[in-house]
């Protein structure tokens, strides 16, 4: 070792290579670089940022040329030892390059920091990275003028005007979510006198905009107290995962708050994971009411600087509690004591791109490594979690009744096979449901209608040749968005005007087929006038828009709320006495073995929105399959019956939780290219002895249910088996073949897949 070299470190970089690179540590950085540190290093004729994962006294055997670490980006390691070890294990389990895993977990460097370090020759940059949290920013708000709208409008202009009309005032950043060229479109409409813009200062984090009113905890029910006592005792004893199975409205959130408060009293931290942070402002509000601003709310609306501020505040221990969606799992909470996964059954906890981890499963792993308590909460637990509880791997705690003492709402099944529509509207809203809606409104109640299909109609058909309007880049029909004046693909966002001629025959007239939330909103506005009907889906609410719609419902300004699964996500609105479910059978038709489970969960969750206040609730479910076990069990609020029936079917077919699964997905610009790569990778898998003696089964390869997305053709095959080690060996064999190269195709290995599409 030369005199100016203090040692060597192994560094992982955000590249798709499952290996570390060794660098020499210059004497000027001696004793300052350890595991978890973020460093600048030369790589492939450029400077790159990596994470130190190991230290060594000598370079690896046979390596003669070692480059030096160029600079240390922070004096304190970015990752704690607990968090880094957890991420290393997660990377091994999901067979993903560690450098990419750490990039997904870490906050980005503050803007300009790397440039300053480069200018200074990559010297230590801790001073440049310090700074107080910025909580105020400028935002442009757009609203409409009263000037008459004359002349023609393009698709983007019509969409901006429709969004402004729907909300009265919209921020420019929110418009950009829906219209990529929003700034230019707004400028043109402002020139025409149709819009007016105003720049105002706003708090950078909308979740912290209102001053929290600290509240005293309510009196716990006997079941809540038992759950709390049991989990708090585990904070100082051997850690173990809990499954908190509580009916909707049973007070699971109150249990989370009490356990986290107990952890905080012990000087330990807490983490709450929710399926989608934008849809749970009420839950965040309850945490702030209990803990004030001593929490970090981690969500996609944060800028890089804010995310970095939160990261460092948690890392230092200034903040002890974090709330967020699945990526909040990587928050560097000091002395982590409890992790809660709320609505643990929700499929959005699985990351479907890049590092394909499941936040629920990894929460159990992180809690184990940190000697923390892990709580999985749900009214409709996943079959996997409930079976773990039944077999003793999780401790099952039940909250069988609502905390208010109210009974669960009565559920009535409307058998659509026995009803004949006498008007066009009754094809969608049956006479029993319509009568129930009118009775609800007459009684000054509010209603929620659930339809898991946005847009005006799911597709349109040419009147000339009867061809469905399809996306040219994806193998899916285009959805009609009438207020926007466009047909849109929900996978690649391709759009064309409603007036565009049929691409097959050139005819100019198309007719809508089916029902979406936009059309349902219009139909109900006519049927229930003068009641106020509103919609909550991806087209009407993003970011702050969700809170605005829900606030209008809570204030009584909206009588009937129509929505997609966004309306099922834990909203607590006391005056909702009626819930209607349209097309309850929809998810049963999906090519997915979890279709029945998803149907049961959605029905049970949305039904739970009714009767949460002083008045009893009522639920009407329109279905063509009232005898299906998922629908019948949901109507009785009988999770155990559903679990027993569904588990038996899964056992017969060998699907999860019986056996494990790995999905290998391939996509390419040409169908033939994707097929050949899929066949070659499947042939590689068949070389393993585990496929020959049937310890591992291979299904496929075959075109994916969505055979084409974004102009790329998609194939897949599945590896299934009970032998975990053998399944992993086969998956590694396939992964090695992928890393040798698959031409213009892309191929991924997905461990424990959730999506079958």
Residue 258 has pLDDT above 80, yes or no: yes
CATH domain 222-399 topology: Rossmann fold (3.40.50)
Task: Return the higher-pLDDT residue of 132 and 290.
Answer: 290
Residues 645 and 629: beta-carbon distance below 8 Å: yes
How confident is the model over 445-463, as pLDDT tens digits?
Answer: 999 999 999 999 999 999 8
Sheet of 410-415, strands arranged across: 410-415, 618-623, 576-581, 446-450, 560-563, 533-536
Residue 545 has pLDDT above 80, yes or no: no
pLDDT of amino acid 543 = 56
Residue 289 has pLDDT above 50, yes or no: yes
pLDDT of amino acid 207 = 59
pLDDT bin (cut points 50, 70, 90) of residue 165 is: confident
Where does 136-203 sit in CATH, by number? 1.10.10
pLDDT bin (cut points 50, 70, 90) of residue 96 is: very high
Q: Where in the chain is the domain with CATH 3.40.50.300?
A: 222-399, 410-454+515-650
Token pair for residue 430?
């049956």
CA distance 444 to 409: 18
pTM value is 0.85
Sheet of 479-481, strands arranged across: 479-481, 486-488, 495-497
pLDDT bin (cut points 50, 70, 90) of residue 47 is: confident
Residue 197 has pLDDT above 70, yes or no: yes
Rounded mean pLDDT of 122-147? 54
Residue 422 has pLDDT above 90, yes or no: no
CATH domain 660-751 topology: Alpha-Beta Plaits (3.30.70)
Q: Where in the chain is the domain with CATH 3.40.1440.60?
A: 5-129
Q: Cα 579 vs. chain centroid, distance in angstroms?
A: 24
Q: Cα 520 vs. chain centroid, distance in angstroms?
A: 26
Residues in the chain: 757
Considering the four listed CATH numbers 3.40.50.20, 3.40.50.2300, 3.40.50.300, 1.10.275.10, the one that applies to the domain covering 410-454+515-650 is 3.40.50.300
CA distance 573 to 5: 65
Residue 658, classed as helix, strand or coil, is: coil
Rounded mean pLDDT of 524-552? 84
| DSSP-assigned beta bridge partners for residue 703 | 715
Considering only the top CATH level, what class is 5-129? Answer: alpha beta
Nearest to 376 by CA among 385, 368, 367, 384: 385
């Amino acid at each position: 070792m030369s005199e100016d070299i203090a040692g060597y470190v192994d560094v992982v970089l955000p590249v798709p290579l499952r290996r570390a690179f060794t660098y020499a540590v210059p004497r000027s950085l001696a004793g300052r670089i350890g595991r978890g540190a973020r460093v600048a290093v030369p790589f492939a004729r450029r400077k790159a940022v990596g994470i130190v994962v190991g230290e060594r006294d000598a370079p690896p055997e046979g390596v003669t040329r070692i480059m030096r670490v160029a600079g240390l980006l922070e004096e304190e390691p970015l990752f704690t030892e607990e968090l880094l070890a957890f991420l290393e294990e997660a990377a091994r389990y999901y067979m993903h390059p560690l450098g990419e895993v750490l990039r997904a977990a870490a906050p980005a460097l503050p803007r300009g920091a790397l440039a300053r370090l480069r200018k200074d020759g990559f010297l230590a940059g801790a001073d440049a990275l310090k700074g107080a949290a910025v909580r105020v920013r400028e935002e442009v708000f757009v609203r409409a003028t009263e000037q008459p709208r004359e002349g023609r409008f393009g698709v983007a202009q019509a969409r901006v005007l429709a969004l402004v009309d729907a909300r009265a005032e919209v921020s420019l950043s929110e418009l950009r979510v829906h219209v990529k060229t929003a700034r230019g479109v707004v400028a043109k409409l402002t020139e025409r006198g149709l819009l007016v813009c105003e720049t105002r200062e706003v708090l950078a984090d909308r979740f912290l905009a209102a001053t929290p009113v600290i509240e005293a905890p309510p009196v716990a029910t006997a079941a809540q107290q038992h759950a709390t006592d049991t989990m708090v005792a585990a904070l100082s004893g051997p850690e173990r995962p809990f499954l908190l199975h509580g009916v909707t409205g049973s007070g699971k959130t109150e249990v989370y708050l009490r356990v986290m408060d107990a952890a905080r009293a012990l000087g330990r931290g807490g983490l709450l994971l929710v399926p989608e942070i934008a849809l749970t402002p009420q839950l965040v509000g309850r945490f702030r009411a209990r803990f004030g601003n001593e929490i970090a709310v981690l969500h996609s609306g944060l800028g890089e600087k804010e995310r970095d501020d939160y990261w460092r505040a948690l890392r230092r221990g200034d903040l002890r509690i974090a709330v967020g969606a699945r990526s909040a799992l990587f928050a560097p909470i000091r002395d982590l004591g409890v992790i809660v996964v709320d609505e643990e059954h929700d499929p959005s906890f699985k990351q479907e791109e890049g590092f394909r981890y499941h936040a629920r499963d990894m929460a159990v792993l992180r809690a184990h490594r940190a000697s923390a308590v892990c709580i999985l909460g749900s009214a409709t637990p996943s079959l996997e979690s409930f079976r773990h509880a039944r077999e003793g791997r999780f401790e099952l705690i039940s909250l069988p009744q609502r905390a208010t003492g109210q009974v669960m709402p009565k559920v009535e099944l409307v058998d659509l096979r026995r009803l004949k529509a006498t008007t066009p509207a009754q094809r969608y809203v049956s006479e029993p449901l319509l009568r129930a809606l009118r009775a609800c409104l007459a009684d000054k109640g509010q209603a929620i209608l659930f339809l898991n299909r946005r847009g005006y109609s799911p597709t349109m058909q040419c009147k000339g040749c009867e061809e469905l309007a399809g996306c040219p880049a994806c193998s899916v029909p285009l959805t009609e968005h009438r207020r926007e004046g466009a047909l849109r693909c929900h996978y690649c966002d391709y759009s064309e005007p409603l007036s565009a001629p049929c691409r097959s025959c050139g005819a100019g007239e198309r007719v809508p087929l089916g029902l979406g939330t936009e059309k349902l909103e219009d139909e109900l506005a006519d049927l229930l006038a003068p009641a106020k009907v509103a919609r909550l889906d991806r087209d009407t609410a993003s970011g702050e828009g969700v809170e605005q719609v829900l606030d209008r419902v809570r204030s009584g300004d909206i009588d009937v709320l129509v929505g997609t699964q966004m309306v099922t996500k834990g909203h607590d609105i006391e005056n909702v006495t009626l819930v209607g479910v349209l097309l309850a059978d929809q998810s049963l038709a999906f090519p997915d073995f979890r279709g029945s489970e998803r149907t049961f969960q959605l029905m049970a969750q949305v039904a739970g929105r009714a009767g949460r206040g002083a008045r009893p609730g009522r639920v009407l479910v329109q279905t063509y399959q009232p005898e299906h076990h998922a629908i019948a069990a949901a109507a009785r609020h009988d999770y155990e019956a559903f679990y027993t029936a569904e588990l038996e079917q899964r056992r017969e077919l060998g699907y999860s939780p019986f056996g494990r699964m790995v999905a290998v997905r391939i996509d390419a610009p040409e169908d033939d290219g994707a097929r050949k790569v899929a066949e070659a990778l499947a042939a590689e898998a068949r070389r393993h002895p585990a496929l020959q003696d049937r310890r591992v089964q291979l299904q496929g390869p075959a075109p994916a249910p969505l055979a084409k997305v974004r102009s790329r053709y998609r194939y897949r095959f599945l590896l299934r088996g009970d032998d975990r080690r053998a399944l992993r060996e086969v998956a590694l064999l396939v992964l090695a073949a992928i890393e040798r190269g698959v031409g213009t195709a892309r191929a991924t290995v997905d461990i424990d897949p959730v999506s079958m599409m």
